[in-house]
Amino acid sequence: MTDRSLRLLIFDWDGTLLDSVATIVSCVQATLSELGEMPAEEESIRASIGLGLRETVDMFRPGCDDELFDQVVAVYRRLWSERFAGRPALFAGVGQVLQRLREDGFLLAIATAKSRGGLRADLSRTGLASMFSSTRTMDEAPSKPDPSMVFEILQELNVTAQESLMIGDTTHDLAMAANAGVTAVAVCSGCESRQVLERRHPAGCLDSVIDLPRWLEGELPDRPRPGTRRASRPSG
């Protein structure tokens, strides 16, 4: 990263701030069962989390036509609303960490594959809506790893890529950040293992987002890799 101050932290949602991966897996399995589709391995479902709905459905039913796609989405959303939406909770300490980062002067944003309605409900339920200066969902931009969500957030907040950091739990998040020219930190709390995440060469690979403030302060042994430079904290 450059010597310019780091101003913006862009977070993924599911698996990064919200402990929702197991619930998403259960909902996908229930959807496939109701539709009479072949069950999918948990590992395959976890690998799809973070993509858009179209890309996810295509992973399990290649060549899916629009009619079946609409049916899958309708069943998934109904089951999520009826049985799963209230289950996920924030990872322990997330609220306090976000508040600390805000007090330290950072702008906070979300870039998620969740729908706008789903994110709005989660933010309301968790009480975090006021924490974020900008949010983007799959309803407003192409699926990760397309960088459009990040670009739109940067434009809205008048922040450069060099002043920004992406934090996510999937290789899709890390690839989106790379495509946007933004440095990324991986967290191992969600979909993918440390081994898989480190293949994308993030600037850091943390056990959870709770470790982010200490990483930003340079207090953790998981230092940036050779060739990367950590930005300074916001001034003032």
Same domain, 178 and 202: yes
Residue 235 counted as domain residue? no
SS3 127: coil
Claim to verify: residue 195 and residue 112 sit in the same structural domain: yes
Taking alpha carbons only, the member of 145, 154, 160, 144 closest to residue 6 is 160
Cα-based angle 101, 172, 74 (whole degrees, multiple of 5): 100
In a domain, 105, yes or no: yes
Domain span at residue 110 reads 8-19+89-216
98, 196: one domain: yes
For residues 31 and 111, state if they share a domain.
no
Residue 10 to residue 131: CA distance in whole angstroms: 12
Q: Does residue 205 share a domain with residue 94? A: yes
Is 2 part of any domain?
Answer: no
What per-residue confidence (pLDDT) applies to 222? 52
CATH code for position 148:
3.40.50.1000
Q: Does residue 148 contact residue 142 with C-beta atoms inside 8 Å?
A: yes
Residue 66 has a pLDDT of 84
1 in a structural domain: no
Looking at residue 42, its pLDDT comes to: 83
> 130 and 15 in one domain?
yes
Cα separation, 200 vs 212, whole angstroms: 18
Q: Is residue 25 part of a domain?
A: yes
For residue 168, what are its two tokens?
Answer: 């996510």
Supply the pLDDT for residue 2: 35
Nearest to 5 by CA among 212, 177, 182, 231: 231
From 3, 12, 122, 173, active-site residue: 12
User: Which pLDDT does position 45 carry in this prediction?
Assistant: 86
Q: Is 14 a residue of the active site?
A: yes
List of the chain residues with pLDDT < 50: 1-4, 223-236
> Does any domain span residue 65?
yes
pTM of the model: 0.83
Active-site residue identified among 14, 19, 169, 211: 14
Q: Is residue 146 annotated as part of the catalytic site, yes or no? A: no
Same domain, 68 and 106: no
- Which of 5, 3, 4, 10 is CA-nearest to residue 176? 10
Would you say the C-alpha torsion 155, 161, 162, 166 has a positive or negative sign?
A: positive
The Cα-based distances of 224 to 118, 185, 219 in angstroms read 34, 9, 12
What is the C-alpha to C-alpha distance for residues 22 and 79, in angstroms, rounded to an integer?
15
Whether residues 164 and 118 share a domain: the answer is: yes
Identify whether residues 30 and 120 lie together within a single domain: no
| pLDDT tens per residue across span 8-24 | 999 999 999 999 888 88
Domain count within the chain: 2
